[in-house]
Amino acid sequence: EPRTRIDPTDPDIYLHGIPHAEFAEMRRDDPVCWIPQVRGSAGFDDEGYWAVTRHADVMAVSRNSETFSSRENTAIARFQPDMTREGIEMQQAILLNMDPPQHTAQRAIVSRGFTPRAINSLRSALQARAERIVAEASIDPDGDFVTDVACELPLQAIAELLGVPQEDRGNVFEWSNSMIGYDDPEFSGADPMESAMGLLGYAMQMADERQTCPRDDIVTTLVKAEIAGEHLSVDEFGFFVLMLAVAGNETTRNAISHGMHALLSNPEQWELFKQTRPRTAVDEFVRWGSPINVFQRTTTHDTSLAGVPIPRGQRVAMFYGSANYDEAVFIDPHTFDITRSPNPHLGFGGSGAHFCLGANLARLEIDLIFNAIADQMPGITLAGPAQRLRSGWINGIKHLPVRYR
């Protein structure tokens, strides 16, 4: 008889951070644990899901897309309470929710926009942008680090990558912001569906323009490859941009906010960062913050995981926020150590086909912003407690009061 302690998708248990004690208990006693879910939709009501909390088991699930499919939606039903069957089918147009061979084909195309060379070509523009964000924030002696600093660069990076003109960036920012964070009353004002449609329409128009007037940019590459069949249709491109806005925005911003919060809460680590700028810091920020807490898969046949039988058609949720603190893998997981190496965290997903496409872009952004902060506001200190986003999906900090100088 499986015991349930918490439902680790319940947003209320994250209000003071990742529920580490409960996760540790689950990893020890019940690492593949059935959670009957009360709230849900799209035919999943009361079905529940399997919570996978150990590092090794998250790796095993993420590696095996034949058994653990992404097709039936990678987001947990309770995070999309109004989702219908049609809604799920619509989301299957997004790379995140595809399986091989469809996934393999589309990923091969979009990967062209994310090669190390493509990302590196953004470096000087993003560095200038990071320096400006930090300079503008520190005009005032104090402020909210999240809205002043952490939010800005991720959106600018995607806009830069796609070549969105300056005058359209404000709209893109608002659309993508209101598509996320709907579990938190502070952000649930806007209609996420309306915003998604706004962004989708904008992206499709952009793709349309590049098809008729090709330019030397990534959008043109994606929608107009020379070899037939190796490009995205206007619709596919629209969904791809939609995904980038969500996937690249809330995640990176929270890696930055958690990184800053952890550095300022551990002054010796902040001193060490300023003096040595270790390249290992970025991945420790991602492990520590685990900006995406969970993604799910659905079993395509009867299987078993860590000796626990799992029938076909059931949901299996991978808790990165637990795996990243697994004492079987990390020495002193609750010690924030910017020199941690190796650091095989799963913050960017496991090791499989869906490993974060934007990991290198995210790493570049985080690296640039922290270097700008260390250069321009070395005296930054915390001025109040971090306020967490109410969400079981995104480990988010929504406000972080600081004194810049």
Residues that bind ligand HEM (CB under 6 A): 62, 70, 74, 95-96, 107, 158, 243-244, 247-248, 251-252, 255, 286, 291-292, 295, 320, 347-349, 354, 356-358, 361-362
Partnered with residue 292 across adjacent β-strands are 394
Closest residue to ligand HEM in the complex (CB):
358
Nearer to ligand HEM, 138 or 157 (CB): 157
Nearer to ligand HEM, 96 or 199 (CB): 96
Nearer to ligand HEM, 53 or 70 (CB): 70
Supply the minimum distance, in Å, between the C-beta of residue 354 and ligand HEM.
3
Cis amide bond preceding 101, omega within 30:
yes
49-52 and 142-144: which strand pairing? unpaired
Token pair listed for 228: 């037939």
Supply the minimum distance, in Å, between the C-beta of residue 3 and ligand HEM.
28
Supply the minimum distance, in Å, between the C-beta of residue 256 and ligand HEM.
8
Nearer to ligand HEM, 353 or 404 (CB): 353
Nearer to ligand HEM, 62 or 67 (CB): 62
Q: Note whether 192 and 213 are within 8 A (CB).
A: no
Residue 202 CA: distances (Å) to CA of 90, 101, 197, 216, 379: 18, 29, 8, 20, 41
Supply the minimum distance, in Å, between the C-beta of residue 40 and ligand HEM.
19
Count other Cβ atoms within 10 Å, centred on residue 36.
11
Nearer to ligand HEM, 137 or 246 (CB): 246
Supply the minimum distance, in Å, between the C-beta of residue 239 and ligand HEM.
11
d(CA 364, CA 283): 11
d(CA 314, CA 247): 25
d(CA 236, CA 106): 9
Supply the minimum distance, in Å, between the C-beta of residue 66 and ligand HEM.
15
